[in-house]
Copies of this chain bind each other. A is one copy, B any other.
């Protein structure tokens, strides 16, 4: 048995909404369950000697191969009926593999995390219950197990709020990126278009970008300059917050 349930804290689970960005699309990492074939957010349990943040890091390391993922808890989901329709339990029954069915069937409150990762670096990897892990575009996402649609929606709301007073992008973009790419990221998260010139002026005013002397050639038309984040200032901005909203 893969799960040594005795190592875990009772009653507590966690679910992660992992956001990535690729080809101007906001993506979410989802699992496909082995037996029910339903989709689910990656999640896990908390070991007896780790914090919930460490647990989420551990889980995401397993699901993406990445360390040092940007990770934030945003809400606890605790509707008493939420666990009842967990298909993982059904899956366990069908697999006949698990001696500790009751443990999985217990009531869990789940701590919701959202994570921002570099799409190109993550290697989606299924877990014990799933046959596949893959990125889906936001619009492609239909019904998820249990309350995972709700969790996703709350995560998205939180991200949208966050973006107004925190820098975002370092964890979602490759090291070097163009201003139009950054703008698309913002537009995608916010769900609206922004003025190109005002966006650039605003971004530059935050003083978290280094403009590089190179441009990104290869597209048809005028090549855009490349930028990188000025990590020192970026971190300062993370702590102190930015101003205003879009």
Residues of A within 8 A of B (CB): 9-12, 46, 48-53, 73, 75-76, 78-80, 107, 109, 111, 161, 165, 241, 243-245
Contact = CB atoms under 8 A, between A and B. Distances in A.
Contacts of A78: 46, 51-53
A244 B165 CA distance: 10
A5 to B, nearest CB: 13
Given A75-B73, A244-B244, A245-B243, A49 B80 contact: yes
A184 to B, nearest CB: 24
Contacts of A10: 9-11
Contacts of A49: 80
Contacts of A243: 244-245
Contacts of A245: 165, 243-244
A9 B46 contact: no
Contacts of A48: 80, 107
A109 B46 contact: yes
Contacts of A73: 75-76
Given A73-B75, A245-B243, A12 B80 contact: no
A52 B244 contact: no
Given A10-B10, A109-B9, A244-B244, A51 B80 contact: yes
A194 B225 CA distance: 43
Given A12-B109, A161-B165, 17 more contacts: A9-B107, A10-B10, A10-B11, A11-B11, A11-B12, A46-B78, A48-B107, A49-B80, A51-B78, A51-B79, A53-B78, A73-B75, A73-B76, A76-B76, A165-B245, A243-B245, A244-B245
Q: Counting chain B CB atoms within 10 Å of each CB, which of A12, A73, A75 scores highest? A: A12
